[in-house]
Amino acid sequence: MTIYALSTGSGVSGVAIIRVSGTEAKKVINLLTGKPVPKPRQATLRKISKINTSELIDEGIILWFPGPESYTGEDMAELHVHGSKAVIEALQTSISEIQNCRLAEPGEFTKLAFQNGKINLLKAESIGDLISSETEIQRQQAIKIMNGRSASKFNELREKLLKILSHVEAKIDFPDEDLPKEILKNIKKISNEVCGNIIKILDDQKVGERIREGFKIAIVGPTNVGKSSLLNHLSNRDVAIVSEIAGTTRDVIETHLNIDGYPVVVSDTAGIRDSKNEIEKKGIKLALNRAEDSDLKLVVVDAKSVDFNSILKDLLNENAILVINKSDLLREDLNLELKKLDHVLISVKNNLNIEKLISKIKDKLKNKFITSDSILITRERHRYHLEQCLDNLKNFSKKNEAEDFDKAAEDLRLATRHLGMIVGKIDVEEILGSIFNDFCIGK
């Protein structure tokens, strides 16, 4: 089948791009323009007409990319037309009338590129991450992965394991032949080196996932201390309902923010107090769970009654900022115990010291997001396969030392398989759907 889709954003725009890929791509251009395809990769102005009536749809630029030298590896064409809904609809309707042409599924162009060997699985994922990036640090990370740093590292480790696997299998195939001592030493050395590399890669504080998914901040504290007001202020819009009635917030309310280029997911939670209301108690449990799972806690209290129960005290650790709201109503200095904590006095109502709080949040973010070229993991699936690879390598080492070479070889094969799963070197059909469904239709 030949697929087609709008590759630019929906809605009115100056230019819209319709992308076509497949064996009928050349026929699509012939029928729409009444002329042969233009020279490869050369922009050519053409009149584009309806197939059945020859009624002019628009005048636009045609680009032709013969396979395999195209994004998907198949014959491809792009039609650059004016970005009105009427033009796009008329053009797509005309293409749909051509035999063996259908609308592309989300991410199908990139899926074809992967299946035809134009890109590896990590690059496919990073293209999706680049498209969905909202902050500068997300864009930078996606570009790094897209340029192949992760893939080259994982392929390098896999090649090392394949090399020692060949030696182990030689020992199995020729049991009467003794392997040179140098090779035996090398098997152990390379296995240990790969283990060390994987341990180092895994010890990244999940920074890659944090960058991709967003740094999680939970606003927690007693009822009626201004948690929802703070969320609304940070968001510059009304995200949460603000009321003087205690216990108004019962569910977790999230908003996505860009703080100094860092992706942040801020959650407003139910006020923590002793309650007999079953629904409110569930909300409080959700609040405590969200605080536990967060990267940073903003523990908000009222300046008029800075009092902590045991639960709030437990939340005040190195990953917390004590936010004392309604500071304009503070009648006396803070006690020494409070001054020792990482705290900031604010007044959401009077917009007092909010920038100071944001500055503290930025400092926490910078400490969490210490990025370097060593960050290679951006998804939980990468981490899973590396952990499995490490377990298999540890098992291999034990069995190899015990000279149980048949079982040792199987562990080594599993280790190489898990590395291959990361870059898509082996069958990964079962995970392709979940990866490409997150793409837009024209990519």
DSSP string, 253-305: EEEEEEETTEEEEEEE-PPPS----HHHHHHHHHHHHHHHH-SEEEEEEEGGG
Residues 275 and 420 in one domain: no
Domain boundary among the residues 104, 137, 161 is at: 104
Range of the domain at 169: 124-204+376-436
Give the pLDDT of residue 388. 97
Q: Are 408 and 416 in contact (CB under 8 A)?
A: no
pLDDT tens for the chain, 443 residues: list them.
999 999 998 888 999 999 999 999 999 999 999 999 999 999 999 999 999 899 999 999 999 999 999 999 999 999 999 999 999 999 999 999 999 999 999 999 999 999 999 999 999 999 999 999 999 889 999 999 999 989 999 999 999 999 888 888 877 777 666 667 777 788 889 999 999 999 999 998 888 998 999 999 999 988 888 888 898 888 876 665 544 445 455 578 888 898 888 899 999 888 877 777 777 778 888 888 888 889 999 999 888 776 666 667 778 888 899 998 888 777 666 666 666 778 889 988 888 899 999 999 988 888 776 655 678 899 999 999 999 999 999 999 998 887 788 899 999 999 999 999 999 887 655 555 555 666 666 66
Q: Model pTM greater than 0.75?
A: yes
Task: Tell whether 196 and 257 lie within a shared domain.
Answer: no
Phi, psi of 338 (to 5 degrees): -70, -35
Residue 351: CATH number of its domain:
3.40.50.300
| CATH number of 75's domain | 3.30.1360.120
347 within some domain: yes
Q: What pLDDT is stored for residue 161 in this prediction?
A: 93
Residues 215 and 361 in one domain: yes
- Residue 396 and residue 330 in one domain: no
* Per-residue confidence (pLDDT) for residue 60, from 0 to 100: 97
| Cβ partners under 8 Å of residue 283, min gap 6 | 247, 249, 250, 251, 269, 270
Q: Are 114 and 120 in contact (CB under 8 A)?
A: yes
Distance of CA 411 to the CA centre of its chain: 30
Residues 263 and 197 in one domain: no
* Of 302, 214, 293, 290, nearest in space to 251 by CA: 290
User: Do 101 and 29 touch, CB atoms closer than 8 A?
Assistant: no
Number of structural domains (the chain) is: 3
Do residues 72 and 23 share a domain? yes
CB 37 within 8 A of CB 64: yes
Residues 43 and 134 occupy one common structural domain: no
Q: What is the three-class DSSP state of 415?
A: helix
Helices (H) and strands (E) in the chain, counts: 16, 12
- End position of a domain, from candidates 311, 340, 368: 368
pLDDT at 272: 79
Asked whether the beta carbons of 290 and 268 are under 8 A apart, the reply is no
